[in-house]
Structure 1
Amino acid sequence: MSFLVEFAMFPTDKGESVSPYVSRIIKMIDESGIPYKLTPMGTVFEVDTMEEALNVINQAYKQLEPDCNRVYTVIKMDIRKGAEKRIEGKIKSVEKNLGKEVKK
């Protein structure tokens, strides 16, 4: 099973630029070994179970909890049985339908 998760999480009480706080979350995900993609508007990762997905979200929050009084979070999930490696696969499917590789 594939739990493809897109989320954004950041403090709202730390001023205009929050990249130092977001970086804490990305470091935690990177060190976990979970496949992920950082985008300008959030992060996409893929795991096998709901428990793993929610654990990543919980661990992300724990990166901000000690010194952030208000945290904004948006989470989207695409859950599909019998699938895996969809972070890359979904992009390749669109590229195939276009008949070419999309420029990155």
Structure 2
Amino acid sequence: MSVLVEFAMFPTDKGESVSSYVSRIIKFIDESGIPYKLTPMGTIFETETIEEALKVLEQAYKLLEPDCNRVYCTAKFDIRKGRSNRLEQKIKSIEKKIGKEVRK
């Protein structure tokens, strides 16, 4: 199974720039070995189960909880049985159809 998650999580009580808080989350995901892609508007990662995906979101929140009084999070899930590596494969499928590499 493949669970793709696109999410954004950040404190709303720390002013305009929250990159130092978001960096905590990205560092955790990077060190965990979970495949992910950082985008300007959020992060996309892939796990094999919904339980693993929810644990990532829970841990991300726990990294902000100690010094953030208000945390905002959006999350979208695309869950598909019988597939894996969709973080890469979905892009390759589009590239094949348009005949060129998608800008990164």
CA distance in 1, matches of 2:43, 2:88: 14
CA distance in 1, matches of 2:9, 2:102: 28
In the alignment of these two chains, the number of paired residues is 104
Structure 1 portions without partners, runs of 5+: none
Helix, strand or coil: the match of 1:31? helix
Percent of aligned pairs sharing the same letter: 77
- Quote how far apart the aligned CAs of 1:99 are: 1.1
Alignment RMSD, CA only? Answer: 0.6
* Matches for 1:3-42 after TM superposition, within 5 Å: 3-42=3-42
> What is the aligned partner in structure 2 of residue 85 from structure 1?
85
Which stretches of structure 1, 4 residues or more, deviate above 4 A after TM superposition?
none
TM-score calculated relative to the size of structure 1 = 0.98
Helix, strand or coil: the match of 1:82? coil
- Quote how far apart the aligned CAs of 1:100 are: 1.3
- Quote how far apart the aligned CAs of 1:103 are: 2.6
> What is the aligned partner in structure 1 of residue 98 from structure 2?
98
TM-score calculated relative to the size of structure 2 = 0.98
| Deviations, residues 6-45 of structure 1 (Å, cap 9, x unaligned) | 0000000000000000000000101111000000000000
* Matches for 1:64-83 after TM superposition, within 5 Å: 64-83=64-83
CA distance in 2, matches of 1:64, 1:82: 34
